[in-house]
Structure 1
């Protein structure tokens, strides 16, 4: 037995901190579910960046969702100080017994001290000084030399305190909400579509090194539409992503249903939940598709599919045979373009999609 396990029955409130990007935040959702399953009496709060809050809002295990607005830094010292004080006051009023910090951000160490929590859990990170190590009562190691999925790494924080998740507890949770679902139902009706009759394709990422060549993406869409599939295209609202979508659609033989730049994260989740399958690259929409239980075909390049691949959903991962991947670099030589992605053929992606769809038909 773990000698310093925490008796959850002695706790009232827990704060889980995840200050990272959208996909990272969504991959923490099982932490809340597991804690609530093992201790239903707990009030479990989350602290994330404001722009990622939709990943966890409406999660049935979360009591309160606190957020940090990244724009505070550019609003002036006085404005930032007021916002930070308001947040700290709100957190202190909750009187947390346990803080679980799931990133390397030093704010988590400061907050664990300032909030006066009895217990604090964080990664045992190399290079962190005495302040970090003395801020937490429990530190958990990160495996070195082999890959472990990010969901499991997050859940290691719970294992370190004596909470052991069962397999069925580790699913991702993302709740679109009735408003988002109604919006998508109306949008699909206007396009002459209904649930499970279309493929959802999200070709872009804000990280260029994760993207497949646009001309190949166009060729893939054309091939799918020639086979009789309806394709719904989405992308983020950023200028670079919208420009990429414009180039991809410009060369299509047949027009495509294009919702790029128009959907919130909740609406994107509602859309992908109704798709027959999701096709894309390593990005937050891929994790959203997995959370909604949608079969997923995803292209991976420099990023590591064992750590970031689709979680607990039927999927196909399309990779090249480059021995240098996954390297994690911003393109080969830092040049933004990744040869391990550039060399993947349209035929390889089509084969993966066909295999995924066949599996879906066999399971019906």
Structure 2
């Protein structure tokens, strides 16, 4: 659309932590093509930590979803202040990777040019009016990273560069994580990290099978770090799994349940020999940190949501039994849907990645 090199670009992603992390290849692609371009992002406040310390992102603007609880007048004051701040940046391009109308309005008002995707539910004149360029929304056979990168088509960038999902960790975060490990008795021993939980229970493996896998690791002499989010359900799951394990003499289990910040969890993953998890944010963090990993998948679009990494081994429940269609899932259902995955299959994948 334009041959002029952009000087300032805003990327909008108003979704969950993993969705935001998987937009970082867009910034990476822009910075590779235009090293002097300033790239900012607009995200929900609770997801901003996933982007902290990323040197490719100049500034993180945030929307606090608690604004609406402060009354209409205060909410509008926050919205106007944010809009004024964004307009003052004088962006050459705003790339909108959200399907909300709020994001479309920012794209329309805050950039000389604006790009987005042809989301099915937004295929109308108003969506086209809000964006000066629209790219096709790729199907489920494409990874979500490719889907996000499609928004850059108006820049007509040369092929040949494969952007990365990126996450960086500050030294003080690494130090904080090491302090917590030391308090549990860790003295720098190598470890395998497993994060068995997810915000959606249907993505989780059975506790007995998880424990069976971890026991094999312990019996082979591997130290373990086990983590859980500060969520009562995840912590109860991890407590049950850990309670089934018996560490041989000289082999250790360090449980960090609900006590790590998102960035400390990233530091813990980065320090591991191997990450094991399910379809969740930590899985994408491991890919961003270029760690060997084994990821267990159930009824998700695997081609779209698998780890964006060549060092990941995916074990899919659909290879061992029938699964419901991904679009039919009730995310509030507490039924676990990875039960068909046998321990032996995951153990083989773990051995393969540990042999790297």
Q: Same fold (TM over 0.5)?
A: yes
Q: State the 1:126 CA deviation.
A: 2.0
Give the structure 2 partner of residue 297 of structure 1.
294
CA contact (8 A) 1:331 1:337 kept: no
Deviations 1:46-75 (A, max 9, x none): 000111111112211211110111211222
- 1:79-118 matches, within 5 Å, as 79-115=74-110, 117-118=111-112
The equivalent of 1:284 in structure 2 is 281
Q: SS at the partner of 1:231? A: strand
CA–CA separation in structure 2 for the residues paired with 1:338 and 1:219: 17
Residue 151 of structure 1 corresponds to: 145
Specify the alignment match of 2:41 in structure 1: 46
TM-score (structure 2 length as normaliser): 0.92
Q: Aligned runs of 1:1-364 on 2, under 5 Å?
A: 4=1, 6-9=2-5, 11-115=6-110, 117-128=111-122, 129-144=124-139, 147-164=141-158, 166-168=160-162, 170-190=163-183, 191-194=185-188, 197-254=190-247, 256-320=253-317, 321=319, 322=321, 324=323, 327-330=326-329, 335-339=333-337, 341-358=338-355, 360=356
Q: For structure 1, which runs of at least 5 residues remain unmatched after alignment?
A: none
1:204, distance to aligned residue in structure 2 (A): 0.1
Instruction: Provide the C-alpha distance between the structure 1 equivalents of 2:60 and 2:160, rounded to a whole number of angstroms.
Output: 25
CA root-mean-square deviation: 2.0
Moved over 6 A (4+): none
Question: Structure 1 residues 329, 299: CA separation in 2 closer, same or farther (over 3 Å shift)?
Answer: farther
Cα deviation digits, residues 302-338 of structure 1 (max 9, x gap): 1122111111241211113245466244369x74424
Structure-2 separation of matches of 1:93 and 1:160: 23
Give 3-state SS (helix, strand or coil) of 1:70's partner. coil
Q: Give the length in aligned residue pairs.
A: 348
Q: Is 1:27–1:151's contact at 8 Å kept on the other side of the alignment?
A: yes
